């Protein structure tokens, strides 16, 4: 990534930090925590990417960068998948989205003994009081398989692109016969540029979800307009296609 593109990402980070703490009513607690984690992980990945990009020489950090980007792309896929599945008349039903996120959040509890220390901490963190049976499935792996069809069903061309990037970087998870190819691939910088854009987009969508849920400290119009303009400049700097509307 060249200096101009890095500068634009730094602008994005400054715009985010200028928002301050997001304040909303204590409704939809699972979705609120999911969005908070989504944003914070994305911000950390962008900050780490800038540092590694500034000190990288001859693709020496290609492998850790790929693994890092994959994790943030994973967040994009899960969020987009559930948003698409929660649409009613093409508008996201946040109560339905809360239900789906809650099921996904609590599903891992079934992997551990009910009286284990981990489960108790997990329940305390989410203030989980329901004594009902927690669903025994974890849909996360299934989402990655279903995401391409989900993107097709909802005409979500961005989700399709993110799935392709995530699939490429999934090969970075384990060293193998293909690992040396990652350092020689001519399109590495293109994939990185595209991934960084989608991570910024995921953070933006998460912030806008907070607005829809009642956050009152984000100036929507100016913030949205500035983000769209920033994305356009990023596309010009990296020669990638970016939507004119979000």
Asked if residues 62 and 69 have their Cβ atoms less than 8 Å apart, the reply is: no
pLDDT in tens, 194-241: 999 999 999 999 988 888 887 766 665 577 888 889 998 998 888 776
> So what's the pLDDT on residue 137?
47
Residues β-bridged to residue 88? 91
So where are the chain's domains? 3-108+138-238
Whether the pLDDT of residue 185 is over 80: the answer is no
pLDDT of 183 above 80 = no
**What pLDDT is stored for residue 144 in this prediction?**
81
Q: Is 200 in a helix, a strand, or coil?
A: helix
**pLDDT (average), residues 117-122:** 70
Distance CA 46, CA 197 (A): 10
Percent of the chain with pLDDT over 90: 29
Residue pLDDT, tens place only, 41-80: 999 999 999 998 888 666 678 888 899 999 999 999 999 9
pLDDT confidence of residue 245: 40
Please give the residue that has the higher pLDDT: either 118 or 43.
43
d(CA 171, CA 157): 22
DSSP 8-state secondary structure symbol assigned to residue 110? G
pLDDT tier, 105 (very low <50, low <70, confident <90, very high otherwise): confident
With b for 16 or more beta-carbon neighbours within 10 A and e for fewer, the 159-193 pattern comes to bebbbebbebbeebeeeeeeeeebeeeeebbebbb
Outline where DSSP puts E strands in the chain.
Answer: 87-88, 91-92
At 243, is the pLDDT very low, low, confident or very high (cuts 50, 70, 90)? very low
Q: Between residues 102 and 74, which one has the greater pLDDT?
A: 74
Q: For residue range 132-170, what is the model confidence (pLDDT) as tens digits? A: 555 554 555 578 888 888 888 888 888 989 999 998 888
**CB of 159 within 8 A of CB of 80?**
yes
Q: Which residue has the tokens 């301050």?
A: 20
Q: What is the pLDDT of residue 246?
A: 39
- Could you give phi then psi for residue 87, rounded to 5 degrees? -80, 135
pLDDT at 244: 39
Interatomic CA distance for residues 150 and 85, integer angstroms: 8
């Amino acid at each position: 990534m060249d200096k101009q593109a890095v500068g634009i990402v730094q602008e994005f980070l400054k715009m985010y930090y200028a928002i301050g703490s997001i304040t909303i009513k204590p409704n939809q607690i699972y979705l609120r925590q999911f969005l908070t984690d989504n944003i914070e992980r994305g911000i950390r990945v962008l900050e780490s990417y800038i540092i590694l990009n500034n000190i990288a020489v001859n693709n020496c950090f290609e492998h850790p960068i790929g693994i890092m980007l994959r994790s943030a792309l994973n967040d994009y896929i899960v969020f987009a998948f559930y948003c698409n599945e929660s649409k009613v008349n093409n508008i996201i039903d946040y109560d339905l989205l809360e239900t789906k996120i809650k099921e996904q959040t609590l599903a891992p509890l079934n992997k551990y003994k009910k009286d284990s220390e981990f489960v108790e901490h997990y329940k305390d963190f989410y203030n989980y009081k329901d004594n009902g049976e927690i669903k025994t499935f974890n849909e996360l792996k299934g989402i990655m398989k279903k995401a391409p069809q989900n993107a097709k069903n909802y005409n979500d061309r961005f989700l399709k692109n993110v799935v392709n990037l995530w699939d490429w970087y999934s090969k970075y998870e384990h060293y193998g016969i293909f690992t040396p190819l990652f350092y020689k691939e001519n399109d590495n910088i293109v994939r990185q540029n595209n991934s960084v854009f989608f991570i910024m987009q995921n953070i933006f969508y998460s912030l806008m979800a907070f607005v829809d849920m009642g956050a009152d400290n984000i100036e929507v119009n100016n913030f949205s307009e500035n983000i769209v303009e920033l994305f356009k400049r990023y596309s010009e700097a990296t020669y990638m296609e970016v939507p004119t509307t979000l």
